[in-house]
Amino acid sequence: MLSHPLAPGADLRPLEPWQAAEFAGYVERHRAHLAPWLPWAVTITDTDSARQFLQRYADSQAADGGRIFGIWLDGVLVGGVLFRVFDSRVGTCEIGVWLAPRAQGRGLVTLAARQLIDWALGVRGLTRVEWRTVPDNNRSIATARRLGMTREGVLRQAFPHNGVRHDIEIWALTAA
């Protein structure tokens, strides 16, 4: 099994279709916490929808595109990180993150995102890593800052979610 230690008791591992039941259970337990920010927290309602979601990332990874990883703390899935977009031809990617409330404050998202950034820029040779968030997601913005990202601007009313069009802040880090 492929695993990267993040901190004592915490690991970063691929999140794959065979783990759909575990992922569906995670989403169900944390839906209220995730749903304000993540559309998939509303659409993943059972093992089948979780499997379809994870399969899309498995297929994307097989085509050298986006990929998804889970964060486990003491053997329990508590969050994850993903390359929502990964385009080696253009040299850009976008990272997304989520975490259960009980796992917050330990730096796990920052450590996991750093692993993805280091791999994208250092191993794959990409030029640009993006981070997108709604302006009132203070935890996400704080993480982007900890990662050394620069706020580049706002896409006004660019993100339809829960019947509202939200602004999206763009944060980025470049290889230079």
Residue 1 predicted with pLDDT over 60: no
Alpha carbon distance 154, 168 (integer Å): 5
pLDDT band at 21 (very low <50, low <70, confident <90, very high): very high
Residue 159 predicted with pLDDT over 60: yes
Q: pLDDT tens digits, residue range 91-147?
A: 999 999 999 999 999 999 999 999 999 999 999 999 999 999 999 999 999 999 999
Alpha carbon distance 130, 124 (integer Å): 15
> pTM value?
0.95
Alpha carbon distance 138, 155 (integer Å): 17
Average pLDDT (3-32) is 97
Per the prediction, the chain carries an average pLDDT of 96
pLDDT value of position 71:
98
Alpha carbon distance 31, 45 (integer Å): 9
pLDDT band at 162 (very low <50, low <70, confident <90, very high): confident
pLDDT value of position 112:
98
